[in-house]
Amino acid sequence: MDLINLKNVEKKYKNGVTAIYDLSISLKKGSFTFVIGGSGSGKSTLIKMLYREEKPTKGQINVGGLNVAKLRNKKVYKLRRKLGIVFQDYRLLPKQTVYENVAFAMEVIGAKKDVIRKKVLRALEEVGLKNKIHNYPDQLSGGEQQRVAIARAIVNDPKLLLCDEPTGNLDPERSMEIMKVLEDINKSRGTTIIMATHDKDIVNRMKKQVITLKDGHLVEFKKKGVYNEIV
C-alpha cells in the first residue's frame, strides 16, 4: 500500500529557479527511503513539499490520503499530525528538559497528562535516553540532542517520519548511532521514513531504497541501493 504519491510535481520559486522538475514517485507504507544528490539537487525542497512548508507549482502530492498540494493553510495541521520531522539543527527548546521537550509535542495537541507521560517515556526509551529525562539540551552531546529530537518527532505515533540531513552535524560514529535508532523505529513501529542526506557512507551501509536527484530531476530510484555519483 502506497503512503506517498507524487505525480508530475514541479517546484519553481519566485526568483525563477526551478528546484524540482516533473517528479513522479510512489513510496509504500513502512518503507525507508534515502533522498540523495549534490547541493542544489532538490533534496530539501522535496522534503519541504511533503510537510507543506513549500507548495508545488504543478502536480499532485498525496500523503496518507491527503492532497498536500491542494491543502489550505488553515488545514495544514491535519497533515502535520500525520508526520514527524527531524532537522539537522535539532531545534530543541533550550530552557526545557529532555522530558519537557518531547512532552511539548503532545501538549500542543491537548493530550492528557497520563497519556503524555506514558508515550514520552516510551519514546525516550526507544532512543536510549530514558536516563536523561531531567537533563537540559546544553548538558547533552550533539548525538543525544538529535535523539531527543527524534523522540519528539515520534511521540505522537506518526505514520511518516521526515528527516532532513539529521546526521549533518555529527561525526561518523554518532551518525551511525542515529541511523540504528531510525532503523529500529522503522522496523518496530512500521513508521515510513524518508531521509535526505549527502552522507555516502550511511547510504552505502544501510542499503535502503534510494532516490537520486540532480538539478531537480529524478535520475535514479533503486529499491535497494548505494550512493552513486551522478555526473
Contact, 68 vs 62, CB < 8 A?
A: yes
- pLDDT for position 231: 44
Are residue 171 and residue 114 in the same domain, yes or no? no
Are residue 220 and residue 165 in the same domain, yes or no? yes
Find the mean pLDDT for residues 91-106. Answer: 97
Question: Is the pLDDT at 225 greater than 90, yes or no?
Answer: no
pTM: 0.94
Domain annotation covers residue 202: yes
Among 51, 72, 52, 54, residue whose Cα is nearest residue 18: 54
Are residue 40 and residue 151 in the same domain, yes or no? no
Per-residue pLDDT tens over the stretch 2-31: 999 999 999 999 999 999 999 999 999 999
Are residue 73 and residue 163 in the same domain, yes or no? yes
Is residue 39 very low, low, confident or very high in pLDDT (cuts 50, 70, 90)?
A: confident
- pLDDT for position 223: 86
- 157 vs 231 pLDDT, higher one: 157
Q: What is the CA radius of gyration of the chain?
A: 17
- Give the integer Cα–Cα distance in Å for 186 and 160: 10
Of the residues 157, 182, 198, the one at which a domain ends: 157
Question: Is the pLDDT at 218 greater than 70, yes or no?
Answer: yes
Per-residue pLDDT tens over the stretch 114-160: 999 999 999 999 999 999 999 999 999 999 999 999 999 999 999 99
Are residue 30 and residue 53 in the same domain, yes or no? yes
Angle between the N-to-C axes of helices 142-154 and 98-107, in degrees from 0 to 180, rounded to the nearest 10: 20
The total domain count for the chain is 2
- pLDDT for position 51: 95
Find the mean pLDDT for residues 57-61. Answer: 96
Enclosing domain of residue 165: 1-82+158-231
- Give the integer Cα–Cα distance in Å for 130 and 128: 6
Of the residues 105, 136, 157, the one at which a domain ends: 157
Are residue 123 and residue 228 in the same domain, yes or no? no
- Residue 153 CB: number of other CB atoms within 10 A? 24
- Give the integer Cα–Cα distance in Å for 55 and 95: 33
Of the residues 116, 134, 157, the one at which a domain ends: 157
Are residue 197 and residue 108 in the same domain, yes or no? no
Is residue 112 very low, low, confident or very high in pLDDT (cuts 50, 70, 90)?
A: very high
Domain annotation covers residue 87: no
Are residue 60 and residue 172 in the same domain, yes or no? yes
Are residue 71 and residue 169 in the same domain, yes or no? yes
Per-residue pLDDT tens over the stretch 158-216: 999 999 999 999 999 999 999 999 999 999 999 999 999 999 999 999 999 999 999 99
Query: What's the CATH number where 177 sits?
Result: 3.40.50.300
